[in-house]
Amino acid sequence: MRLLIALAVLALSVTACSGEDSGAVLKIKDPGNAGPLAYAKKNGILEKRLAAVGAKVEWGGSYASFTATIDAVRSGSVNVLEGAISPALGYLANGKDIKIFSITDRVTDAAAPQTDGLVVPADSQVKGVKDLVGKQVAVNKGGRGEYLLLLALERAGIAPDQVKRVYLNPDQAASAFATGKVDAWWAIVRAYPEVVAKGARVLVHGRDLPDQDLSIQAARTELLQEHPEAVRVYLQVLQELTQQARTEPAKFQNVFQTQGPTALSGARLEEELAKSRYALPPRFVTPADASYISDVAGTFHKYGVLPVTVKPQDVIADLRPAQ
As assigned by CATH, the class of the 116-208 domain is alpha beta
In tens, the pLDDT along 127-160 reads 999 999 999 999 998 899 999 999 999 999 999 9
Please give the mean pLDDT across all residues of the chain: 90
Of 294, 286, 285, nearest to 312 (Cα)? Answer: 294
313 close to 284: Cβ distance less than 8 angstroms:
no
Per-range mean pLDDT, top range of 15-19, 59-63, 91-95, 257-261: 257-261
Of 72, 136, 145, 187, nearest to 305 (Cα)? Answer: 145
Of 234, 241, 231, nearest to 280 (Cα)? Answer: 241
Whole-Å CA distances, 26 to 73, 83, 312: 12, 17, 24
In tens, the pLDDT along 254-275 reads 999 999 999 999 999 999 999 9
- Helix-helix angle 228-247:266-278, to 10 degrees: 120
Is residue 292 pLDDT above 60, yes or no? yes
Of 252, 223, 227, nearest to 240 (Cα)? Answer: 252
SS3 for 172-241 is HHHHHHHCCCCCEEEEECCHHHHHHHCCCEEEECHHHCCCCCCEEEEEEHHHHHHCHHHHHHHHHHHHHH
What is the pLDDT averaged over residues 104-118? 94
What is the pLDDT averaged over residues 78-104? 88
Task: Choose which CATH entry (3.40.470.10, 3.10.129.10, 3.40.1390.20, 3.40.190.10) describes domain 2-106+213-315.
Answer: 3.40.190.10
Domain pair 2-106+213-315 / 116-208, same fold? yes
- At residue 70, the pLDDT reads 79
- At residue 22, the pLDDT reads 60
Give the side-chain half-sphere CA count within 13 A for 43: 14
- At residue 154, the pLDDT reads 97
Q: Which is more confident, 73 or 13?
A: 73
3-class SS at 153? helix
Q: How confident is the model at residue 17 (pLDDT cuts 50, 70, 90)?
A: very low
- At residue 13, the pLDDT reads 42
Q: What is the pTM of this model?
A: 0.88
Q: How confident is the model at residue 309 (pLDDT cuts 50, 70, 90)?
A: confident
- β-bridge pairing 116-120 and 201-204: antiparallel
How far apart are alpha carbons 163 and 197 in whole angstroms?
A: 26
Is residue 43 pLDDT above 50, yes or no? yes
DSSP E strands, 248-303: 283-284
- At residue 307, the pLDDT reads 85
How far apart are alpha carbons 49 and 56 in whole angstroms?
A: 9
- At residue 4, the pLDDT reads 42
In tens, the pLDDT along 18-36 reads 445 568 999 999 999 999 9
The string over 15-42, giving b where at least 16 C-beta atoms fall within 10 Å of a residue's C-beta and e elsewhere, is eeeebbbeebebbbbebebbbbbbbbbe
Task: Show me where the domains of the chain are located.
Answer: 2-106+213-315, 116-208
3-class SS at 284? strand
Q: Which is more confident, 313 or 210?
A: 210
Is residue 5 pLDDT above 50, yes or no? no
Q: Determine what percent of the chain is predicted with pLDDT higher than 90.
A: 77
In tens, the pLDDT along 175-193 reads 999 999 999 999 998 899 9
**What are the φ and ψ backbone dihedral angles of 239, each rounded to 5 degrees?**
-60, -45
What is the pLDDT averaged over residues 226-245? 98
Question: Would you give the DSSP letter of residue 316?
Answer: B
Q: What single letter denotes the amino acid at residue 160?
A: P
- At residue 10, the pLDDT reads 40
